Amino acid sequence: MNRNLDAAVKSISELIRIDSSEKKHTKHAPFGKGVLECLHTFLRLAESLGFETHDYDGYIGEVIFGEGEPFAILCHLDVVPAGSGWTKDPFGGAVEGGKIWGRGAVDDKGPAVCCLYAMKALKDSGFRPSKRIKLIVGCNEESGWGCIEHYREVATLPETGFSPDADFPVIYAEKGILHIRLHFPAKKPPFLSLKGGSSANMVCDYCEAGLRSVSFERAEALGLQAEGKKLISHGKCAHGSTPEKGVNAIAPILRYFSDKSEAVRRAYECVFEDVYGLKNLHDETGALTISPNLVQYRKHDLQLVCDIRYPATINVREVHTLLKKFGVKYETLHHQEPLLVDKDCELVQTLLSVYEECTGRRAAPVAIGGGTYARALRHGVAFGPEMDGDAPVIHQADEFISVERVNLLLDIYEKAIEKLTC
């Protein structure tokens, strides 16, 4: 058992108890008071462990260890909204059944704390890094990366490092990320209101439509519920990069109305039936995925916000060429270029060796659809904390990290930091 395990578990639990999903900003809290509180709590913890810290105007913070060429460990403290379907308090931080429960346990408060205590273990052992380790903790990773943009303005971002915000054994490639808002004109819709979803990068788990009357038989056939003059669809939340792990609540609602409205039918065909073949774009990093995660109807306009993850070697222009075939107005809300590094580079191979040493598993570098801070670096990769076979919990109800996993992460990150900065 790692000597810092109990302290790490306690710290993870304390951070989970702070709701750090983005809220209304204030002058001193650019992403909301909860996010700022979480940042200050983390930095106070780091200071109590003897580290130098910096708070960059509430946007982002860092913990410093060592001198020399900078090396980045990029984490984030903000979380997506809790969503529905929880059996535990999403911001309770309960430690039960060998697990720490709550939003951010895996994504990404747990790994951030583990990296901090890994640095503490190295410092306590007398290790002197040859590099200036910067444990950078952002506050806007889930909804825009404004924190990284601010950091670039006020500090120097290292060129090399890793982000503990994805999967093991090591991530050498991440798909490009494109969030768009589609506009389907609908002057006479078959509903009075329509809304669903809570975040652009979370599979929609609840959608509802208001209407004058409901066909109960048709609703039941599609798995919908009728409550008064509301038609309700329940789904299952999942990360927007892996929509196949969730159940999208928007789809059955659009199907219900598709024979009553050309606009709705068109929207359903484009985003759910993929009539223009976006998903046919693929390479070694996988196929394109599209997840329509937000829907609303406003002023004769049916709007759908889609999370698109496109293959790392594909130019985004190819995606736009297919989107234009939809024949409707759309706008780009967010775009991040893909990440792709050499599988045989020293960074990848060092982390791969650490993973194999600590787990006894031989593995090869992998590609993912998720997007991490690693792509903010000139030469960065993602490294943990999830493993093949783990139950999907990121962006889902009842997110947790096991105490056993925390124990393993403390060892893995300590060895990784030591080997990369010795």
**pLDDT score recorded for residue 226:** 85
DSSP string, 203-266: ---EEEEE-S---HHHHHHTT-EEETTEEEEE-B--BTT-GGGSB-SHHHHHHHHTTT-HHHHH
* Residue type at 276 in one-letter notation: Y
Q: What is the pLDDT along the chain (422 residues), one digit of tens a residue?
A: 899 999 999 999 999 999 999 999 998 999 999 999 999 999 999 999 999 999 999 999 999 999 999 999 999 999 999 988 999 999 999 999 999 999 999 999 999 999 999 999 999 999 999 999 999 999 999 988 999 999 999 999 999 999 999 999 999 999 999 999 999 999 889 999 999 999 999 999 999 999 877 676 777 888 899 888 899 999 999 999 999 999 999 999 999 999 899 999 999 999 999 999 999 999 999 999 999 999 999 999 999 999 999 999 999 999 999 999 999 999 999 999 999 999 999 999 999 999 999 999 999 999 999 889 999 999 999 999 999 999 989 999 999 999 999 999 999 999 999 999 99
Q: Whose structure tokens read 């038609």?
A: 231
Q: Is 141 a catalytic residue?
A: yes
pLDDT of amino acid 345: 97
Is 357 among the residues known to form the active site? Answer: no
What is the predicted pLDDT for the residue at 5?
Answer: 98
Q: Which of 22, 107, 141, 142 is catalytic?
A: 141
CATH topology of domain 5-174+339-421: Aminopeptidase (3.40.630)
Q: What is the pTM of this model?
A: 0.84
Q: Which residues of the chain form CATH 3.40.630.10? A: 5-174+339-421
CATH number for the domain running over 176-336: 3.30.70.360
pLDDT at residue number 323: 98
Distance between CA atoms of 395 and 403, rounded to whole angstroms?
19
Q: What is the pLDDT of residue 371?
A: 86
pLDDT computed for residue 229 by the predictor: 84
> 3-state DSSP call for residue 82?
coil
Predicted pLDDT at 353:
97
Give me the pLDDT at residue 219, please: 78
Per-residue model confidence (pLDDT) at position 83: 87
Q: Tell me which amino acid residue 326 is.
A: F
What's residue 14's pLDDT? 98
Element (H, E) at 382: strand 379-382
Task: Determine the straight-line distance between the first and last CA of the chain, rounded to whole angstroms.
Answer: 24
Give yes or no for a contact between 302 and 189, defined as CB atoms under 8 angstroms apart.
Answer: yes
CATH 3.30.70.360 intervals, the chain: 176-336
Place of tokens 């159940």: 247
Q: Which residue in 19, 22, 78, 307 is the catalytic one?
A: 78
User: Which two structure tokens, joined as six digits, stand for 307?
Assistant: 């999370």
Looking at residue 144, its pLDDT comes to 85
Chain-centroid distance of CA 202 in Å reads: 8
